[in-house]
Structure formats: C-alpha cells, structure tokens
Amino acid sequence: MPIILKCHKGIGPAVTGTALVAADNFSARYDLDRLKGVFSRPAHKLVGKSYVGAILVLQTAKGGVASAWMLREMTSRNMAPKAIIFDRTNTILAQGAAFAELTMVDRFELGDPTALIRTGDELHIEPAEGRVTIVNRDA
C-alpha cells in the first residue's frame, strides 16, 4: 500500500527511484567525491555510499554558491543524484537545483523526512504537487 507524504511544492520534474537516507546534512562541496560519485567526508553517515542516481533524503543543506554550481556540474557529467529531499533547504541550493534541472523538495507536513523514509524505499516525487509517495517500502 503506497504511503503519501505531503511537502512544500518543489523544483524539477517528477521522478521515481530508490532512497538513500541519513539523518545528516549535505554539502556538495565538502561531503562528496564528485569524480567517484560517493560520499567521502569521513564523518558523514553515508561515507563510501554512491549517491549517483539515488534519491537522497537528508536533513538540511550546508554551504552556498559552490554547492549550488556543483549540482549543475554533477548533472552535466551524469554523476548526480536523481533527486534530493530535505527536511529544510536553503535558497541558494534551491536555485542550484533549478539550474541543474534536479528534482528537490522539502518541508514535510509530518516532520523530518529522514524519520519517515528508509534507505531502499522506492519513491515517486511529484514536486509540482508537493507530494512524495513511498511506492514500495523496503522490508
């Protein structure tokens, strides 16, 4: 049975993919090895995990302009996540997602999405409707 989560209207096209979740923050500049496509900051909860093609579910965005333009650079090389879901993001990263044509949503009615979504869940994100559906929950 699908689980529907309501959030603020977001950015980008509707997408479906597999969630990679951590109760941690996100900086494209400091947390990622953008050449290998993995989280590389030793203290990050997803260290060593590939973010390429995943739907990242994280608490908040860190950083500013550098992280924003890095999203565009990552999408241009097909080394980007499919989408990013935040509890809260910042204006600069939202602008970066729009520039990168990357799907992004935040501000969920039921609270922190890292507590609502599990790694391995299949998600369908509809940013224009402010809706994330857990299509298939990984057991």
- Name the pLDDT band for 67 (thresholds 50, 70, 90): confident
pLDDT tens, 13-65? 999 999 999 999 999 989 999 999 999 999 999 999 999 999 999 999 987 78
What pLDDT was estimated at residue 139? Answer: 58
Percent of the chain with pLDDT over 90: 87
**What whole-number distance in Å separates Cα of residue 139 and Cα of residue 134?**
12
Q: Which helix (H) or strand (E) holds 14?
A: none
- The average confidence (pLDDT) of the chain is 95
**What whole-number distance in Å separates Cα of residue 130 and Cα of residue 93?**
18
Q: Is the pLDDT score of 116 beyond 90?
A: yes
Using the CB atoms, write b or e for 121-131: b if 16+ within 10 Å.
bbbbbbbeebb
pTM of the model: 0.96
Q: Is the pLDDT score of 1 beyond 90?
A: no
